[in-house]
Amino acid sequence: MFKKILLMLVVLPFLSCTHLSDHPRDILPRTSFLHVRKVLTIIKCENNQCVSRDFKSAASAFVVKTEQEGSFAITAAHVCEDKVPPEMESKTTKTSAIYTLRRLDGEAYTASVLTYDSKIDVCLLFVKDLVEGVEAVKISPTKPVPGDKIYNISAPIAIFYPNMVPIIEGQYNGETVGLAWYTLMAAPGSSGSMVLNDKGELIGLVHSVYVRFPTITLGARYDDLLHFIKKNLTKYVVYKDVMGLLELKNIFDS
């Protein structure tokens, strides 16, 4: 009997520690997620007649830095590009876009495009007045290793409701020139979403799906994404701070 009690005293602390350790659901940065709604207005004028059309799309984004005036967010570059359909192309064609970003609780904000890199398909946005109800995602200090478990917080096919956003589990497969590969379900609307390791840290970004096998998802490589974020955050944070002194155009207003 004494031996049984002694064994329980030895085993219980280990069982307790296992139970109390961080679970992925507790460390995943859900409030870093932003749902993107874009309305692209294209106006084509010919022979003194103008035709206007609105093109609507949805995507995902995530917060990488929050300041007093608002937050910096990342999405895919193709979300930020104003591509004109062939039937609307003309020398006089004009475009304008409105970006509405919703945080996890559904509160909406407008955003402006600061810069993007089409080569790696990453875009930096500024979301004015978004200072509460969000957290900046932490970036992993190390790149992923093939076989690592990953998590994706996104709104595929615009599946998103206040306080409900899909969390998808997968694996990191490795990288090729210019691309990171994941075994991960994705669909239109997943573009620009964050890829996280099992510590809830950022290791990638989803921008497309392999057409012939939709469980294979492609994105920006860890090194490319990290370089883009660090380079442009530094640039635009400094730019924002000196903008008023130099009387520069306020590009942070949507």
Tokens at 130, concatenated: 């978004």
CA of 209: how far to CAs of 141, 170, 184, in Å? Answer: 26, 14, 9
| Backbone conformation region of residue 121, classed left if phi is above 0, alpha if psi is from -120 to 50, else beta | left
Flag whether 10 is in a domain: no
Instruction: Summarize pLDDT for 187-202 with one digit per residue, the tens.
Output: 999 999 999 999 999 9
| CATH code, domain with 63 | 2.40.10.120
Domain co-membership, 125 together with 173? no
Q: What pLDDT was estimated at residue 235? A: 87
**Residue position matching structure tokens 């200090």:** 141
38 and 131: one domain? yes
Q: What is the DSSP letter of 53?
A: E
- Taking only the tens place, the pLDDT of each residue in 64-101 is 999 988 999 999 999 999 887 777 777 778 888 999 99
- The tokens of 15 are what? 């069982």
Question: Do residue 116 and residue 43 come from a single domain?
Answer: yes
Tell whether 172 and 102 lie within a shared domain.
no
Quick check: is 251 in a domain? no
Q: Are residue 125 and residue 216 in the same domain, yes or no?
A: no
pLDDT digits (tens, 9 = 90+) for 98-121: 999 999 999 999 999 999 999 999
Residue 236, CA distances (Å) to 3, 81, 101, 125, 206 in order = 65, 19, 20, 10, 23
Mean pLDDT, rounded, of the chain = 87
Check if the beta carbon of residue 206 is closer than 8 Å to that of residue 177.
no
Q: Where in the sequence is the domain holding 183, given as residue range(s)?
A: 149-224
Which pTM does this prediction carry? 0.85
Distance CA(16)–CA(130), nearest Å, equals 39
Question: How many domains are there within the chain?
Answer: 2
Residues 43 and 104 in one domain: yes
End-of-domain residue from the set 136, 158, 193 = 136
Residue 149 is predicted with a pLDDT of: 97
Report how far apart the first and last C-alpha atoms of the chain are (Å, whole number). 73
Section 163-191 average pLDDT: 96
Between CA 16 and CA 11 the distance in angstroms is 9
Residue 231 has pLDDT above 60, yes or no: yes
CB 31, CB 163: distance < 8 Å: no
Residue 178 in any domain: the answer is yes
Residue 33 has pLDDT above 90, yes or no: yes
Domain annotation covers residue 99: yes
Please tell me the predicted confidence (pLDDT) of residue 23. Answer: 54
With a CB cutoff of 8 Å and minimum separation 6, the contacts of 238 are none
